Amino acid sequence: MQKRSIWIGTALASSIVLLSGCLQGEQSLEELMDPPQNVQTVNDLDNAENKKEASENKKESEETTNNKDAKTTETTNRELYLIDENGMVVSQTLPLPQADSKEVAKQTLEYLVKDGPVSDILPNGFQAVIPAGTNINSLNLQDNGTLVVDVSKEFKEYKAENELKIIQAMTFTLTQFDSVDRIKLQIDGVEQNVMPVNGTPIGNGYARSDGINLHVGDVADLMNSESVTVYYPAQQEEHYYYVPVTTRVEGESDSKYESVINQLVEGPDYELTGLVNVFQNDVELTKKPVNQDGVLALTFNKSIFNDEKNQTISDPVLSSIVLTLTEHPNVESVQIKVEGTEQVFNENGEAYSQPVTREDVSEPSGI
């Protein structure tokens, strides 16, 4: 644009100076540092202000979008009990979007519904358990620790052979929350004394003590045996996960820890497809287990090592022990010791100097 020389009177010049002083307050830092050589028309100023406003709106919109994206990516790891490729009910720790504290239990249960939000994060070989289309109407926690779960009529659309798996998966998923001890079922507000398809009794509700992946085994004397839940490894490619099996073990109640360890060392029955034994046959306890303030001390012989020279215990062995024994309500952690050895290590060379908790061996699952 060519420069134009404009001759004006003194009064008009003063007005422009005053106007120019007013406009400078609205200009950006760059405009003040590099003032334009040409005089802008009113339309030009309007266009500049419109562009500035549009730019600010775009920036605000981008910031809002980024904030929303940040919120949606915030997750919390939760235990979901799903069905693996062998038909076993198995815990998988998966990242769920953060929810309001009052909605956490309901959200977690919604992630057990087939074709629901869990579909995007299901690990390979696993499936949800609650029939597709089921709505979680409400959850009501009673003072005695019973959580009343009300679901829609679509819940009834399952096969009879899956009935126990469904109630077990729901129970073990919801009892991960400290305030929940057992669950009771309602369908559209009607209390259920039995499961709707195969008639499994649930009048008193269902708790962890009622078991999961029930397997009697070869125990002959049921009256003198005790129900325990042990965790056997299953392998998927290079990855191990751990399957809880409720079975019976013989022995006195004061030796239940020894009975559980013996059950783990013996390994799963051949009928339990897909489960593996990761213990050597001659592994045994050399001292009586001692539980002090929730810390269970276990002392093994050296056969517990997968590498005696480096004094290492394999991760599957340790995880099986810790997951199994912390299933007992009075055991919070396990201290592993080996007779004749001052220190033991995991496969990464890290010392087991502190008791191992359930959280220490439960890692988020891959997709």
Question: 246-280, pLDDT tens digit by residue?
Answer: 998 876 656 789 999 999 999 999 889 899 999 99
CA separation for the pair 102, 150 (Å, rounded): 16
Name the residue with higher pLDDT: 309 or 72: 309
Question: In whole angstroms, what is the distance from residue 209 CA to residue 181 CA?
Answer: 10
- The share of the chain scoring above pLDDT 70, in percent, equals 76
Q: How far is CA 187 from CA 24, 184, 232, 310, in A?
A: 70, 10, 34, 57
Residue 92: name the closest of 116, 128, 117 by CA: 128
Cα distance between residue 255 and residue 67, in whole Å: 56
Note the pLDDT tens digit of each residue in 135-177. Answer: 999 999 999 999 999 999 999 999 999 999 999 999 999 999 9
Geometric angle at alpha carbon 69, from 55 and 119, rounded to 5°: 145
Reported pTM: 0.77
What is the DSSP code string of 100-131?
-GGGHHHHHHHTTBTTSGGGGTPPTT-B--BP
Mean predicted confidence (pLDDT) in 231-235: 94
d(CA 192, CA 149): 10
Report the pLDDT value the prediction gives residue 26, as an integer from 0 to 100: 39
Label residue 60 by pLDDT band (50, 70, 90).
Answer: low
Question: Which of 313, 364, 365 minimizes the C-alpha distance to 335?
Answer: 313
Per-residue pLDDT at 281: 86
pLDDT higher at 220 or 124:
124
**What is the rounded distance in angstroms from the CA atom of residue 140 to the CA atom of residue 135?**
15
255: Cβ contacts below 8 Å, ≥ 6 apart: none
Indicate left, alpha or beta for 291 from its phi (over 0: left) and psi (-120 to 50: alpha): beta
CB 248 within 8 A of CB 226: yes
Predicted confidence at residue 362, as pLDDT, reads 80
